[in-house]
Amino acid sequence: MSRKKRRQTPEWQWEQILIDAHYDYRWRQVLDPLYEKFQRWKAGKLTHADMDQAIHETHKQNQELYSLFREKRSFLVGLIQWNREWFEGWVVDHPPPPGVELVLVPDRSLSSKAT
């Protein structure tokens, strides 16, 4: 199947919605704290040095996210599903279409009992 045809499949579209939603989630994790620091800086509660550090840390996180979301699509879709707390909440409202196999992640409660 051509790449163009693949993009029209329910499986590809579901994967894209998943990637887009997780992308937004991860960006909010990075940028919301910076936004809050800007608000505190504006109120005079943080120094320029504090903001310089916050911007530097955010830039490093930005680079990590950029690298993550440049990964191969199939790897990224599987990796997102390993974020069980986020994925289990998301997939309730966005069930996969027939033909999509979800990643099986070991139950943490079972693995912790084995140790």
* Structural domain for 59, as ranges: 3-114
Give the model's pLDDT for residue 64: 96
Q: Which residue has the tokens 């009992």?
A: 113
Count other C-beta atoms under 10 Å from residue 80's C-beta: 21
As a whole number of angstroms, the distance between CA 101 and CA 15 comes to 11
0.75 exceeded by pTM: yes
Place 108 in a pLDDT band, splitting at 50, 70 and 90: low
Q: What is the DSSP letter of 102?
A: P
Q: What is the pLDDT of residues 73-103, one digit of tens each?
A: 999 999 999 999 999 999 999 999 998 989 8
Give the model's pLDDT for residue 6: 80
Say if residue 114's pLDDT is above 90.
no
Q: Give how many domains the chain has, as a whole number.
A: 1
As a whole number of angstroms, the distance between CA 9 and CA 24 comes to 23
The string over 51-62, giving b where at least 16 C-beta atoms fall within 10 Å of a residue's C-beta and e elsewhere, is beebeeebeebe
Tokens standing for 41?
Answer: 């800086």
Which uninterrupted H or E stretch holds 66? helix 48-68
